[in-house]
Amino acid sequence: MGKLLCIRIDDRLLHGQVGVTWANTLGANLIIVANDKVVNDPVQQALMEMVVSEQVGIRFFSIDKTIAVLPKASPKQLIFIVCKSAQDALRLVQGGVEIDSINIGNIHNTATGKRIHRSLALTEDDIESFKQIADLGVKLQVQPVPSDKIIDLLSIL
């Protein structure tokens, strides 16, 4: 199995900050965009592929396929998973993806969410999903960019 470096939640999924800065900081050679909608959206996939260097592979999988393929990954793969929401991350963890912590970058549910950090506006559903992830023993770390100080999400909820 490959080495899972990080799971990041970012409602914009893969953009320059994630595809370049985070991938380089982590030393990833494979990014998996895990989201049930983007897996069927070739236009969005093409836009995301443009922000990743040629040295880094990129795959677009549904949440269920991500859970299924991770155990089969080559040991040479240094994997960075990006998902869109707390609900996606919860499904990954509940599906058996083993990770010590989840990086929370950007969630902008501004219409229905409560702003708890400059990069986070969370709905009650988001908060409930995060509590379930924490109950499964996974640390929740708010860190929009690698140079930001890590904040424990539960300490600001």
Backbone angles phi, psi at 114, to 5 degrees: -100, 125
Provide the CATH number for the domain around residue 43: 3.40.35.10
- Give the pLDDT confidence score for residue 16 in this predicted structure: 82
The domain tally of the chain equals 1
Q: What is the pLDDT of residues 69-127, one digit of tens each?
A: 999 999 999 999 999 999 999 999 999 999 999 999 999 987 888 999 999 999 999 99
Q: Which range marks the domain in which residue 71 is found?
A: 3-156
Catalytic residues: 15
Q: In terms of Cα–Cα distance, which of 96, 125, 93 is closest to 109?
A: 125
| Contacts with 96 (C-beta within 8 Å, 6 or more apart), sequence order | 67
Confidence of residue 20 (pLDDT cuts 50, 70, 90): confident
